[in-house]
């Protein structure tokens, strides 16, 4: 089903909030796709990194329901290649923080199998908790 | 001195607010004024005739016209004076319309007082006007064109055909530049070499063009009408008149080096023909590659040369000549793709640049392919352009079109090829470009919107896997190609940097040379007599380059054709008896117009042996130098120190006790014009402001500012145009430096530095002007006039305080 | 020379072999890495939002310790060396943040009022940078047992190289490990995926995604002829080595390949005592191939 895109000034607050949280001017993105082409995790994502930027640019709050920002590994490949000099890692972080600051964690220690917890080096657990909790 | 004053009613525009009779009677009382008249329309035939008749009848030698803005009818009245036999520079106008009646339409009484005040200032200034004549400087008919690519060739041909003497200097052994390397040109697919060769031949045939190839400009001294050029001509060791291009020499030459013309894809010998269409059409011996000439290591080429064209007993030549104007056409370099390491250029065998591809297509179409092309070919756009990661933000303009061209040439010559162009935008803006792009699509070239993120090479097959997002379908492509062509952007080249330094030419933020004004002077530079043509000014295609080259020659012709050119008499001059030859001013002049030279033999022996002299061909009349002279020896015609002080005194003369007054020094180009525009819009601003016109804010020296405060000013405002539009180099930094010197002294005297303000304007900032003036005015009203004691001290020992 | 050294959590547990080999190698090169007293968790991964100062407290507190320690050591160099790439990145990032924003530094100092104020003097340095500073020639001089015939593909991961203002080398074309391995006499294999992320913290909740990445990275290295992969990050080590279990689950034809910390190879090349190699902790035992190549007995 092809969706209709509604562009209005209603959600400019959302764009402004993400701009502020990330410190980046998201309207600078010209949708070249370099970020998506550089992303190691893109095949696991539901939308591409450039699509994520697009949705934020257009104030589409539905981006908060997508998974891409949670699959991001913060590897900064996009950041070092963006021809507009944008730091996409910061934008993904800002989007995550919008959810996380509502006290909705993206990780539940109880759901991780015990043998995995025993196996994982603490650096993995610590970094995962830092990234996915508020 | 016999001054005549005329007060204009301006058909009611002035007289409905300002009481003309009061202005007339005020003017009558002023010393040196012998005649005062008023008239409904001074600028009309009647009004002008009145002035001309009065000048003759009453032997008037200076004229004041209190009317509209000098920027409005100034030229009219200047020619009126000329018709009457007077110098046009003994005229002063009091702006009692745009800068008095109109902004103060609600306050007729105050406006009348201000009109008197402004008329007084005009009279004070005119008293010191010098009867200067219109100035011209001689200029000859010689031009130097630096760079022998298509831009230089076109400019040289235009000027040579017009009868000017042209020196065309090219550093390569042949002219032709990058265009000679191209296969076909978009959008018509003309063969580049075929359309270029006739032009190159014309250059050689033109009797007015002296062609110096394998030569570099080593030094440029001088100025418009007198540029002294030193060129170093390198020896080719082959006499072009004798060489028959038989090729016997290359067969015996033992040295093999990469062939630069072929972008290193093939090799050449140390002795070689620079290009198939080389002009001069002769072999050349590359001294660097040769085994040795001094002493002679090999010499085999000379042995086999039948015509005896090879001569090792030649040396670099220094050629000196003088020209009147210069055209810089030094071209570009392609972006060094090794900087974009993610594409592996220089490491991966099958990654090439578009220029490599041009050569490959030329050879392939001649039936001599120089390397395999494969079947799956990808073009990557925007390499080195629009990319903050390599610090080149600009678009290189031609890459979209040349990729459209190369891709369809490849597809048409072998339809079994699969050719892709990976782009971010497809810029097909020019004549025939969109149609050409459609033709490429029709031919079957596949255009994919996505900027390629990385290339990975298969170390066995050497094929490239390209990773990119097709942004239009939001899918990731990981696809293998036989050949990847990088559409590299255009960058300024080394030769350009060198010439820019020699001529002190400004650079744009993108690194290319900067034009004097982006809209109205696209081929001029801020250096008089130096013009730009072609890609040296910025990336562009061949039609635009040729247009610009013709434009540059037209601009040069415009300067040279009359045999002389006009100069404004607003120029610096030296009070030689006050100058002590200290030379502080020399380094401060932004156009290097000041130099120290020895005084005349019959000068007063008690004076310094050296004295400052102004080169009027270089002086722009900004007045920046004046602030740096501790002896008040530097001055400016038409806006002298004495004149400005007289105006300052005059506008403060009627100030009453307790009143405050703000002086506004308005630069001619912008702030004065802006103030006029404010008046035209009938916007009001504070009555206690008085505007004084200056050529540039940099004319307002620290001494003048202190004197102004001392004479009664309570606030000073300096208005200037924006740096990027300024015809005066460094005016803004000079103003800031002047202001900081004054602020320092204000602080020492306990005077609030906020009484002195500086703003850069544009002529449409009407609200900005009003707000700024009112703000300063309100501030001075609130702070009150400067206490008399402090004021007095500001006027004391000014030079000692400024130059300690 | 004595330099303050920040270990971080893993170096004391799963990556003890990294520490043991590195400390020994450093000693041989005349560097004494002295562990920072009272260090706390570095706080990886770095918080990237513009308004968050809370998550920078942990790294800054370590820098306070480092500043104190440098003062006590004397001299005018205030360096802090780390081995773990993730610790390096987060410490250097927070350091740069407060150096560029003195008002934020003040806020952090005021908040941690029980600690001494951090003045911003410390320079965070990765061990590989230290080696580069000393010079690879010096490394070569200590090599008694050249790793001839060993085909090694260096792997860098991301946080060592990115973002550009933090990274220790060109993020697209790094060479620092190449130079070290060349000095050790090894044959270097170029892995085009040497700077591709291993998946990092996603290994906790999405181990098969990590397995995909590991498979790409390792199988390409193998395709280019590598027998070993080196790394300098405990999380990369886990994702590339331990997660080979998951790789094999998805790709049964995958052959295991030993992943080593580069300092382990250095220890072997310097012919140090076996106890400094730490091979027991490596998921894929490198000893069989090393013995086969005659590099160890």
Contact indicator for B115, B96 with CB cutoff of 8 Å: yes
User: What is the domain extent for residue C229?
Assistant: 135-292
Q: How many domains does chain A have?
A: 2
- Same-domain pairing of A95 and A34: yes
Question: Phi, psi (5° rounding) for residue A131?
Answer: -80, -35
- Cα separation, C226 vs C179, whole angstroms: 17
Decide if C157 is inside a domain.
yes
A66 CB-near residues (< 8 Å, 6+ apart): A46, A47, A52, A55
pLDDT of residue B659: 93
Considering only CA atoms, which of B117, B16, B126 is closest in space to residue B60?
B126
Quick one: pLDDT at residue C75?
74
> What CATH number does the domain containing C37 carry?
1.20.1050.140
Query: Any residues with CB less than 8 A from the CB of B560 and at least 6 apart, and which?
Result: B139, B140, B141, B143, B164, B324, B325
Contacts of A37 in chain B (CB under 8 A): 450-454, 467-469, 476
Cis peptide before C163 (omega within 30 of 0): yes
| Residue B749: count of CB within 10 angstroms of its CB | 15
Radius of gyration of chain B (CA): 34
User: Does residue C141 sit in the same domain as residue C116?
Assistant: no
Nearest Cβ partner for B341 among C172, C190, C193: C172
Together in a domain, A87 and A120: no
Cβ of B389 within 8 Å of Cβ of A38? The answer is no
- A50 part of contact set with chain B, CB < 8 Å: yes
Give the residues of chain B that fall short of pLDDT 70: none
SS3 at position C244: helix
Q: Report the sign of the C-alpha dihedral through residues B18, B22, B24, B28, in that order.
A: negative
- Which 3-state string (H, E, C) describes B545-605? HHHHHHHHHHHHHHHHCCCEEEECCCCEEECCCCCCCCCHHHHHCCCCCEEEEECCCCCCC
- Please measure the distance between the N-terminal and C-terminal CA atoms of chain C and give it in whole angstroms: 33
Give the SS3 label for residue B323: strand
Is the Cβ–Cβ distance between C289 and C260 less than 8 Å? no
Report d(CA B446, CA B466) in Å as an integer: 15
The reply to whether C174 and C272 lie within a common domain is yes
Give the domain-ending residue among C95, C128, C161. C128
Contact criterion met (CB below 8 Å) for B717 and B739: no
Q: Would you call A55 an interface residue with chain B, using a CB distance cutoff of 8 Å?
A: no
**B468 and A42: CB-CB below 8 Å?**
no
DSSP SS3 for B163 = coil
Length of chain C counted residue by residue: 297
Report d(CA C281, CA C275) in Å as an integer.
12
In a domain, C297, yes or no: no
Q: Is A98 found in the same domain as A109?
A: no
What is the Cα–Cα distance from C270 to C276, expressed in whole angstroms? 11
Q: How far is C144 from chain A (nearest CA, A)?
A: 34
pLDDT at A112: 92
Task: Tell whether omega for the bond before B187 is within 30 degrees of 0, i.e. cis.
Answer: yes
Q: Does B459 touch chain C (CB under 8 A)?
A: yes
For C251-280, give the DSSP string.
-TTPPP--EEEHHHHHHHHTT--GGGT-GG
Is C8 in CB contact (< 8 Å) with chain A? yes
- B222-244 tens-digit pLDDT: 888 989 999 999 999 999 999 99
Which of C99, C128, C157 marks a domain boundary?
Answer: C128
pLDDT for the residue B468: 97
- Give dist(CA A56, CA C270) in Å, integer: 54
Which residue does chain A place closest to B456, by CA atoms? A38
Neighbours of B234 (CB within 10 A): 17
Q: How far is C78 from chain B (nearest CA, A)?
A: 31
Residues of B in contact with A83 (CB under 8 A): 382, 386-389, 424, 451
Judgement on whether residues A93 and A120 belong to the same structural domain of the protein: no
A62 lies in the same domain as A83: yes
Residue of A nearest to C245 (CA): A119
* B632 φψ region: left (φ > 0), alpha (ψ -120 to 50), beta (else): left
pLDDT of A11? 79
**Which of B317, B145, B316 has its CA nearest to residue B227?**
B145
**Number of domains chain C contains:** 2
Same domain, C117 and C144: no
pLDDT at A8 over 80: no
Find the CATH number of the domain harbouring A47: 1.10.1060.10
Contacts of A76 in chain C (CB under 8 A): 158-159, 162-163
Average pLDDT of the residues in A85-106: 95
pLDDT at A115 (0 to 100): 92
Average of per-residue pLDDT values in chain B: 94
Q: In C, which residues are within 8 Å of B456 by CB distance?
A: 192-193
Do A32 and A59 lie in one domain? The reply is yes
List residues bridging with C154 in a β-sheet. Answer: C230
Same structural domain, A96 and A32 = yes
- Nearest beta carbon to residue A121 from set C10, C47, C199: C10
A2 domain residue, yes or no: no
| R_g of chain C, CA atoms, integer Å | 19
CATH number at residue C162: 3.40.50.11810
Task: Tell me whether residue C90 is in a domain.
Answer: yes
pLDDT, mean of residues C45-59? 94
Helix (H, G, I), strand (E, B) or coil at C94: helix
Whether B664 contacts B759, CB under 8 Å: no
Residues whose CB falls within 8 Å of the CB of residue C91, separated by 6 or more in sequence, listed in order: C6, C42, C59, C62, C63, C80, C82, C124
Same domain, C189 and C217: yes
* A15 and A29 housed in the same domain: yes
Q: Which residue has the tokens 């093999």?
A: B256
* Among A73, A80, A97, beta carbon nearest to C202: A73
Statement to judge: residues C108 and C148 lie in one domain: no
- Residue A71 belongs to some domain of the structure: yes
The pLDDT assigned to B601 comes to 80
Same domain, C267 and C194: yes
List the single residue in C with minimal CA-CA distance to A74.
C200
Residues in chain A with CB shorter than 8 Å from the CB of C206 are 44, 71
Query: Could you read off the pLDDT of A35-69 as tens digits, one per residue?
Result: 999 999 999 999 999 999 999 999 899 999 999 99
pLDDT tens digit sequence for C116-136: 999 999 999 999 999 999 999
Could you tell me where the beta strands, DSSP code E, fall in B284-434?
Answer: 284-285, 317-323, 325-328, 332-334, 351-353, 376-383, 418-423
The residues pairing with B317 across neighbouring beta strands, listed in sequence order, are B233
Least CB–CB distance from B453: residue in A37, A51, A84: A37
Give the pLDDT band (50/70/90) at residue A134: confident
- In this structure, the answer to whether residues C140 and C266 fall within a common structural domain is yes
For residues C196 and C158, membership in a common domain is answered with: yes
Taking 3-state DSSP, the helix, strand and coil percentages for chain B, each rounded to the nearest 5, stand at: 35, 25, 40
**Does the complex come out with an ipTM higher than 0.90?**
yes
DSSP E strands in B306-445: the ranges are 317-323, 325-328, 332-334, 351-353, 376-383, 418-423
Cα–Cα dist B677/B710, whole Å:
31
For residues C106 and C190, state if they share a domain: no
Q: CA-to-CA distance for B355 and B398, rounded, in angstroms?
A: 12
The confidence score (pLDDT) of residue B590 equals 86
The shortest CB-CB distance from B452 to any of A37, A42, A47 is to: A37
**Beta-carbon neighbour count of residue B781 at 10 Å?**
16
Residue C45, preceding peptide bond in cis (omega within 30° of 0): yes
Q: What is the average pLDDT score of chain C?
A: 95
CA–CA separation, A106 and A64 (whole Å)? 13
Residue A10 has pLDDT above 80, yes or no: no
- Nearest-CA neighbor of C232 among C140, C139, C157? C157
Q: How many CB atoms lie within 10 A of CB C163?
A: 17
Rounded CA-CA distance A111/A122 in Å is 17
pLDDT score for B504: 80
Q: Is residue A4 included in any domain, yes or no?
A: no
Q: By the CB < 8 Å criterion, does B451 face chain A? A: yes
A52 and A77 share a domain?
Answer: yes
B332-334 and B490-492 beta bridge pairing: antiparallel
- End residue of a domain, out of C112, C128, C144: C128
Parallel, antiparallel or unpaired: strands B475-481 and B464-470: antiparallel
For chain B, percent of residues with pLDDT exceeding 70:
100
**pLDDT of A1 over the 90 cut:** no
Quote the CA–CA distance of B29 and B36 in Å, as a whole number.
10
Residue B36 phi, psi dihedral angles, 5° rounding: -130, 130
pLDDT at B509: 87
Q: Does B388 touch chain A (CB under 8 A)?
A: yes
Give CA torsion, residues B97, B102, B106, B107, to 10 deg: -30
| 3-state helix/strand/coil string of B437-502 | HHHHHHHCCEEEECCCCEEEECCCCCCEEEEEEECCCCEEEEEEECEEEEEECEEECHHHHHHHHH
pLDDT digits (tens, 9 = 90+) for B260-315: 999 999 999 999 999 999 999 999 999 999 999 989 999 999 999 999 999 999 99
Chain A contact present for B391, CB below 8 A: no
CA nearest to B731, candidates B606, B626, B657: B626
Do the strands B610-614 and B594-598 form a parallel or antiparallel pair, or are they unpaired? antiparallel
Same domain, A48 and A70: yes
Could you give the domains of chain B?
A: 1-134 (3.40.50), 136-233+316-331+498-562 (3.50.50.60), 235-314 (3.30.70), 334-491 (3.50.50.60), 571-636 (3.30.70.3270), 639-804 (3.40.50)
**Chains that contact C by 3+ CB pairs under 8 Å?**
A, B
**How close does chain C come to B378, measured CA to CA in Å?**
20
Choose from A124, A129, A130, A133 for mutation: most chain C CBs within 10 A: A124
pLDDT number for residue B729: 76
In this structure, the answer to whether residues C107 and C147 fall within a common structural domain is: no
pLDDT at C74: 82
Question: In chain C, what percentage of residues exceed pLDDT 90?
Answer: 95
- On whether both C274 and C177 belong to a single domain, the answer is yes
Chain A residues within 8 A of B423 when measuring between CB atoms: none
Across C266-288, average pLDDT: 95
User: Residues A70, A109: one domain?
Assistant: no
Compute CA B409 distance to the chain's CA centroid, rounded to the nearest angstrom. Answer: 40
Q: State the pTM of this model.
A: 0.84
What token pair was written down for B208?
């007015």
Cα(first)–Cα(last) distance of chain B, in Å? 40
In chain C, which residue's Cα lies nearest the Cα of B347? C173
As a residue count, chain A comes to 134
Provide the pLDDT confidence category of residue C47 given band limits of 50, 70 and 90: very high
Chain C residues touching A77 at Cβ < 8 A: 158, 162, 195-197
Q: Is residue A26 part of a domain?
A: yes
* Measured CA angle at B673 (ends B672, B677), to 5 deg: 120
A20: containing domain? 9-103
* CA-based nearest residue to B155, from B680, B533, B600: B533
- CB contacts < 8 A, B to C, total 9
Q: Could you tell me if C123 and C156 lie in one domain?
A: no
- Report whether B576 contacts B96 (CB < 8 A): no
Q: Strand pairing partners for C187?
A: C151
Q: At what angle do helices B70-83 and B671-680 cross, to 10 degrees?
A: 110
Measured CA to CA, the distance from residue B463 to residue A109 in angstroms comes to 46
Look at residue B77 in the predicted model and tell me its pLDDT.
95
Tell whether A27 and A91 lie within a shared domain: yes
């Amino acid at each position: 089903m092809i969706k209709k895109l509604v562009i209005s000034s209603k959600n400019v607050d959302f764009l402004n909030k993400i701009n502020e949280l990330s410190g980046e001017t998201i309207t600078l993105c010209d949708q070249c796709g370099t970020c998506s082409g550089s992303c190691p995790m893109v095949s696991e994502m539901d939308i591409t990194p450039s699509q994520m930027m697009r949705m934020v640019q257009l104030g589409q709050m539905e981006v908060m329901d997508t998974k891409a920002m949670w699959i991001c590994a913060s590897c900064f490949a996009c950041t070092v290649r963006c021809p507009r000099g944008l730091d996409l890692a910061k934008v993904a972080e800002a989007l995550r923080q919008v959810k996380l600051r509502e006290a909705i964690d993206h990780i539940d220690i109880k759901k991780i199998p015990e043998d995995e917890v025993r196996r994982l080096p603490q650096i993995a657990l610590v970094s995962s908790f830092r990234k996915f909790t508020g | 001195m016999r001054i005549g004053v005329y007060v204009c009613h301006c058909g009611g525009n002035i007289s409905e607010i300002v009481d003309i009779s009061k202005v007339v009677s005020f003017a009558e009382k002023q010393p040196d004024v012998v005649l005062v008249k008023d008239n409904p329309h001074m600028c009309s035939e009647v009004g002008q005739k009145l002035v001309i008749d009065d000048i003759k009848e009453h032997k008037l030698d200076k004229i004041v016209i209190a009317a509209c803005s000098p920027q409005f009818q100034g030229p009219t009245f200047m020619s009126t004076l000329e018709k009457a036999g007077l110098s046009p520079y003994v005229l002063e106008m009091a702006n009692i319309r745009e800068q008095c009646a109109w902004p103060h339409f609600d306050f007729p009484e105050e406006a009348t007082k201000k009109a008197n005040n402004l008329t007084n200032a005009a009279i004070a200034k005119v008293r010191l006007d010098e009867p200067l004549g219109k100035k011209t400087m001689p200029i000859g008919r010689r031009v130097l064109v630096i760079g022998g690519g298509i831009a230089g060739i076109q400019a040289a041909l235009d000027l040579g055909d017009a009868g000017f003497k042209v020196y065309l200097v090219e550093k390569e052994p042949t002219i032709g530049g990058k265009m000679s390397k191209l296969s076909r040109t978009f959008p018509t697919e003309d063969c580049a070499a075929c359309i270029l060769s006739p032009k190159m031949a014309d250059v050689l045939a033109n009797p007015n063009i002296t062609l110096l190839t394998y030569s570099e400009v080593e030094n440029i001294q001088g100025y418009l009408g007198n540029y002294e050029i030193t060129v170093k001509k390198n020896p080719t060791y082959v006499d072009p008149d004798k060489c028959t291009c038989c090729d016997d020499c290359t067969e015996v030459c033992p040295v093999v080096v990469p062939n630069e013309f072929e972008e290193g894809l093939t090799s050449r010998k140390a002795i070689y023909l620079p290009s198939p269409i080389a002009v001069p059409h002769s072999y050349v011996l590359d001294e660097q590659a040769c085994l040795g000439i001094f002493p002679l290591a090999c010499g085999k080429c000379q042995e086999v040369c039948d015509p005896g064209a090879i001569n090792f007993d030649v040396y670099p030549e220094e050629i000196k000549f003088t020209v009147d104007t210069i055209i810089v056409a030094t071209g570009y370099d392609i972006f060094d793709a090794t900087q974009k390491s993610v594409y592996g250029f220089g490491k991966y065998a099958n990654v090439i640049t578009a220029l490599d591809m041009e050569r490959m297509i030329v050879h392939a179409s001649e039936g001599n392919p120089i390397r395999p092309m494969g079947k799956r070919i990808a073009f990557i756009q925007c390499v080195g352009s629009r990319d903050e990661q390599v610090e080149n933000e600009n678009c290189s303009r031609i890459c979209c079109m040349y990729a459209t061209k190369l891709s369809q040439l490849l597809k048409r010559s072998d339809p079994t090829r699969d050719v892709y162009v990976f782009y971010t935008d497809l810029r097909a803006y020019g004549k025939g470009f969109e149609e050409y792009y459609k033709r490429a699509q029709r031919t079957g070239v596949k255009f994919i919107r996505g900027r390629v993120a990385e290339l990975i090479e298969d170390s066995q097959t050497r094929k490239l896997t390209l990773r990119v997002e097709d942004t239009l379908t939001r899918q990731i492509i990981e696809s293998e190609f036989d050949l990847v062509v990088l559409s590299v952007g255009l960058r300024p080249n080394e030769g350009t940097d060198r010439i820019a330094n020699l001529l002190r030419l400004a650079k744009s933020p993108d690194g290319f040379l900067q034009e004097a004004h982006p809209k109205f002077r696209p081929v001029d530079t801020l250096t008089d007599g130096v013009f730009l043509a072609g890609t040296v000014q910025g990336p562009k295609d061949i039609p635009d380059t040729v247009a610009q080259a013709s434009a540059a020659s037209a601009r040069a012709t415009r300067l040279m054709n009359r045999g002389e050119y006009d100069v404004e008499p607003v120029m610096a001059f030296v009070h030689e008896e006050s100058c002590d030859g200290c030379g502080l001013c020399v380094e401060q002049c932004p156009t290097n117009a000041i130099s120290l030279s020895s005084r005349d033999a019959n000068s007063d022996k008690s004076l310094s042996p050296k004295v400052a002299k102004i080169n009027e061909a270089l002086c722009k009349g900004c007045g920046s130098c004046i602030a740096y002279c501790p002896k008040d020896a530097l001055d400016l015609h038409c806006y002298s120190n004495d004149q400005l002080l007289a105006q300052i005194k005059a506008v403060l003369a009627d100030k009453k006790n307790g009143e405050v007054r703000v002086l506004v020094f308005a630069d001619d180009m912008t702030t004065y014009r802006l103030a006029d525009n404010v008046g035209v819009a009938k916007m009001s601003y504070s009555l206690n402001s008085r505007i004084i016109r200056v050529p540039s804010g940099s004319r307002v020296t620290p001494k003048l500012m202190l004197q102004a405060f001392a004479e009664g000013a309570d606030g000073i405002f300096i208005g200037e145009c924006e740096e990027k539009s300024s015809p005066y180099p460094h005016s803004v930094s000079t103003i800031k430096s002047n202001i900081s010197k004054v602020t320092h002294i204000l602080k020492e005297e306990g005077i609030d530095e906020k009484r002195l303000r500086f703003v850069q304007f544009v002529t449409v900032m009407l609200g900005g002007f009003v707000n700024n003036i009112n703000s300063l005015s309100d501030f001075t009203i609130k702070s009150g006039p400067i206490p008399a004691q402090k004021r007095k001290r500001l006027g004391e020992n000014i030079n000692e305080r400024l130059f300690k | 020379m004595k330099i303050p050294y920040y270990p971080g959590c893993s170096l004391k547990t799963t990556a003890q072999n990294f520490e043991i080999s590195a400390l020994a190698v450093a000693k041989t090169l005349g560097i004494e890495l002295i562990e920072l007293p009272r260090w706390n968790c570095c706080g990886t991964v770095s918080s990237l939002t513009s308004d968050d100062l809370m998550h920078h407290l942990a790294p800054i507190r370590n820098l306070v310790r480092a500043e104190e320690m440098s003062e006590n050591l004397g001299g005018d160099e205030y360096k802090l060396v780390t081995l773990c790439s993730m610790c390096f990145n987060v410490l250097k990032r927070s350091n740069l943040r407060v150096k560029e924003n003195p008002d934020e530094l003040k806020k952090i100092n005021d908040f941690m009022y029980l600690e001494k104020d951090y003045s911003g003097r410390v320079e965070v340095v990765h061990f590989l940078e230290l080696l580069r500073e000393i010079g690879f020639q010096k490394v070569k001089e200590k090599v008694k047992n050249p790793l001839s015939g060993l085909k090694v593909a260096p792997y860098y991961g991301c946080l060592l190289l990115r973002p550009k203002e933090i990274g220790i080398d060109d993020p697209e074309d790094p060479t620092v490990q190449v130079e070290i391995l060349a000095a050790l006499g090894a044959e270097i294999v170029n892995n085009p995926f040497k700077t591709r992320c291993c998946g990092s913290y996603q290994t906790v909740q999405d181990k098969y995604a990590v397995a995909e990445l590991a498979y790409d990275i390792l199988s390409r290295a193998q395709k280019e002829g590598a027998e070993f992969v080196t790394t300098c990050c405990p999380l990369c080590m886990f994702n590339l080595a331990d997660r080979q279990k998951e790789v094999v689950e998805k790709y049964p034809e995958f052959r295991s390949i030993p992943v080593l910390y580069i300092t382990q190879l250095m220890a072997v090349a310097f012919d140090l005592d076996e106890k400094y190699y730490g091979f027991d902790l490596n998921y894929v035992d490198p000893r069989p191939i090393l013995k086969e190549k005659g590099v160890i007995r």
